[in-house]
Amino acid sequence: MGRLIAISNRTAADPKARAGGLAVAVWESLKETGGSWFGWSGNLVDDVPRGANVFRDEGVEFVLTDLTHEEHENYYLNYANRVIWPVFHYRLDLAHFNGEAFKTYSDVNQRIAGIVANRLQRDDTVWVHDYHFLLMGDALRHAGWEGPTGFFLHIPFPPPEMFRAIPEHHWIARAMCAYDVIGFQSSHDRANFVRYLVDQFDGEELGEDLIRVFGSTTRVAAYPIGIDPDGFRDAAQTAKADRAAERISRFLGDRHLVIGVDRMDYSKGLPQRFEAVGQLFDAHPEMDGKVSVTQIAPPSRSKVEEYQELRTQLDQLAGRINGDHGDLDWIPLRYLARSYSREELAGLFRIARVGLVTPLRDGMNLVAKEFIMAQPEEDPGVLVLSEFAGAAEQLRDALIVNPHDKFKVADAIYQALTMPLEERQARWRKLKAVVEEQDIGWWRNRFLKDLTPAD
Ligand code: GDG
C-alpha cells in the first residue's frame, strides 16, 4: 500500500489524543506509510480560511483547517450533531431538520475535499471517518480523485424508515455510494443500510458484501472496532491507576463498586440507568449500604440544548435516588460530571465489581471492552451490557440487558453483584479472548485489506 490518508473531524495532532483506540490504529498506519491526516484544527475564525495549517510529527503530515463560526454552527452543531447524530441513534424526536445547515455541511465536505485532493498522490489510499464526512467520498470524486476511498461510520446506522425522515437522505445515500468500501460497526447497521439501498434504489446484493447501486459497485460490510487491549491492561497497572483506585477505596470502604463511564450524551441511557439503580435498591433492601454506584459523565457538546437538558435531568434523578435511599454514612449513587485520565479510569474499572454499559443505542462502545481488559484474573468484575450497543454482537458472555427495562437491568446488576467467583471468571475469560483477538489492529487490517485488495 502507498500512503494512507486519514480524514476525520478531529485528528490526533495533539500527542495527548493518541492514546484512544482509533488514534492508535490510524496513527500506526500513518507512520508506517508516511501518510497524512486531514481534519479540523479546533480553531474558529471569521472568514473562510484559504489553505490549511500543515506540519509534520513523527513522519506523519497533519493538514488542518480552521472552521468559520458559521461553518461550526451549521456543519458541526446543527447538521452533524442535531440531525445526523440523533437520527442515526434512532432519536427522530430530537432531530432539528435544517436545509441551510445541510448546505453548509455539504460545503464544508467539499471545501475539505478540495484541500485533500490538491495533496493526493497516485498510490494513496483514502480512509474517511465518521458522520461528519458522509459526503466526502463523492466530493473527492468530483475533485478528480479516482483512487481507493473507504469510509467507516463509528455510530449506528438507523433503520430505513428513520433514515428516510432526513429530508436530504437521497443525497446522502447517493454520495455515500461513491466510496469503494463502507464500513459499519455491526451486522445490524450494515443490514439497515443495505435494506435502504435495496428498497429505495433497487440495489442488488451481489454476494461477498458487494452491492450494485447507482450504476456502480460498493462493498458494504461490518468491521467492529476494537481497542488496544495490552495498552489498556497496562494502563490499569500504572501508579496513576493505583492512586485513583486508592482514592475511591477510601470512600467505598468494604462496599462493592458499580461503575459507569460515558460521555454525557442522551444515547448513553443515563437517566434509564439511574432509574434502574433506584429499582435495585427498591427491590433489594439488603443491598443498602453494601454497594456504591459511581457514574463518571464528562460533559460533551454542551452548546447543544439537549445536552443541557440531560444534565438537569441527571442532577434531579441522582438527587431523588440519594434522597430516597441514602443514609448518614452512605451515598448510593455518585455522579461526577467531569473527566479523568485514561489511567485513572482504568484503575477504577480494575476494582469495580460491576461495569454498567447500558446505552440506548451505540455504534460499538469501547468502554465495555476497556472494562474487560482492566479486570484482574483472580477476581474479575461483571459487565452488564445493553443489547443495543454494537459491542453486544461480540461480547455474548456479558449480562445482556434491554436498557429500557429498569426491572431487568436492576436484576442484572443484582445477579452481577451476587455471581459466584467461578462464573465470573468463566465469563471474563471468554470476553477477554474476544477483546484480545478482535482488537484495533484486527479491525484496521480487515478494513484496509478490503479497501486495497491487491496488496
Ligand atoms: C464513538 C461511538 C464507538 C470517556 N470518558 C473519559 C474518557 N472516555 C473514553 C472511554 C472510551 C472513549 O472515551 C469513549 O468511547 P465510546 O466507544 O464509549 O463512545 P463515543 O465517544 O460515543 O464514541 C461509539 C466509538 O466512537 C469508536 O468507534 O465505539 O459507539 O459513539 O475510550 O474510555 N477518556 C478519558 N477521560 C474520561 O473522562 N481520558
If one compares 252 and 12, the residue with the highest pLDDT of the two is 252
pLDDT tens for residues 311-326? 899 999 999 999 999 9
pLDDT tens for residues 187-196? 999 999 999 9
159 and 308 co-located in one domain: no
Q: What pLDDT score was predicted for residue 238?
A: 98
Average pLDDT over residues 269-288: 97
Q: From the CA of 21, how far away is ligand 1's center (Å)?
A: 9
Q: State the cell numbers at 10.
A: 478531529
Active site residue 57: no
What residues form DSSP beta bridges with 183?
152, 221
Written as one letter, the residue type at 303 is K
User: Closest by alpha carbon to 185, among 35, 409, 307, 21?
Assistant: 21
* Closest CA to ligand 1's atom 20: 365
Average pLDDT over residues 237-245: 98
343 and 401 co-located in one domain: yes
Give residues with Cβ within 8 angstroms of 282, minimum separation 6.
Answer: 410
Around Cβ 95, how many Cβ atoms within 10 Å? 18
- Residues with CB under 6 Å of ligand 1 are 20, 22, 154-155, 225, 261, 263, 296, 298, 339-342, 345, 362-367, 370
Q: What pLDDT score was predicted for residue 452?
A: 92
Q: What pLDDT score was predicted for residue 25?
A: 76
pLDDT tens for residues 61-94? 999 999 999 999 999 999 999 999 999 999 999 9
Strand order across the beta sheet in which 125-129 lies:
53-57, 60-68, 36-45, 4-10, 125-129, 149-152, 181-184, 216-222, 210-213, 204-207
Q: State the cell numbers at 446.
A: 480487515
Q: What pLDDT score was predicted for residue 273?
A: 98
**In the block, residue with C-alpha cell 434491554:** 402
Considering its fold, how many domains does the chain have in total?
2
* Closest CA to ligand 1's atom 6: 339
* Closest CA to ligand 1's atom 26: 154
Residue 19 has pLDDT above 70, yes or no: no
d(C-alpha 440, C-alpha 229), whole Å: 8
CB 137 within 8 A of CB 151: yes
CB 400 within 8 A of CB 392: yes
User: Closest by alpha carbon to 183, among 148, 222, 157, 215?
Assistant: 222
- For a pocket test of ligand 1, which of 127, 367, 393 has the largest count of ligand atoms closer than 8 A to its C-beta? 367
Q: 49: helix, coil or strand?
A: coil
Average pLDDT over residues 354-373: 97
Percentage, residues of the chain above pLDDT 70 = 98
Q: What pLDDT score was predicted for residue 436?
A: 98
CB 227 within 8 A of CB 440: yes
pLDDT tens for residues 350-362? 999 999 999 999 9
81 and 143 co-located in one domain: yes
Residue 454 has pLDDT above 90, yes or no: no
204 and 251 co-located in one domain: no
pLDDT tens for residues 117-167? 999 999 999 999 999 999 999 999 999 999 999 999 999 999 999 999 999
Give residues with Cβ within 8 angstroms of 430, minimum separation 6.
Answer: 396, 397
Strand order across the beta sheet in which 333-336 lies:
333-336, 291-296, 256-261, 354-357, 382-386, 399-401
Q: From the CA of 156, how far away is ligand 1's center (Å)?
A: 14
127 and 254 co-located in one domain: no
152 and 272 co-located in one domain: no
Q: What pLDDT score was predicted for residue 304?
A: 67
Q: What pLDDT score was predicted for residue 455?
A: 56
* CATH at residue 106: 3.40.50.2000
156 and 240 co-located in one domain: no
179 and 261 co-located in one domain: no
Q: What pLDDT score was predicted for residue 20?
A: 62
Residue 340 CB-half CA count within 13 A: 25
Active site residue 209: no
The reported pTM is 0.96
Rounded mean pLDDT of the chain? Answer: 95
3-state secondary structure 411-429: HHHHHHHCCCHHHHHHHHH
Written as one letter, the residue type at 293 is V
Helix axes 239-252, 342-351, angle to 10 degrees: 50
> Which of 89, 129, 132, 154 is labelled catalytic?
154
* Closest CA to ligand 1's atom 18: 365
Structural domain span for residue 338: 229-437
Q: Element (H or E) spanning 315, and its range? A: helix 305-325
175 and 276 co-located in one domain: no
pLDDT tens for residues 186-225? 999 999 999 999 999 999 999 999 999 999 999 999 999 9
Q: 22: helix, coil or strand?
A: helix
Average pLDDT over residues 333-345: 94
d(C-alpha 452, C-alpha 436), whole Å: 25
208 and 272 co-located in one domain: no
292 and 159 co-located in one domain: no
d(C-alpha 137, C-alpha 435), whole Å: 31
Helix boundaries (H) for 77-126 = 85-88, 99-119
47 and 148 co-located in one domain: yes
Q: How far apart are the first and last CA of the chain?
A: 6
Residue 301 has pLDDT above 80, yes or no: no
Q: Which atom of ligand 1 is nearest to the CA of 156?
A: 30
- How does DSSP assign 322-351, residue by residue? HHHH-BTTB-SEEEE-S---HHHHHHHHHH
> Which of 130, 189, 362, 439 is labelled catalytic?
362
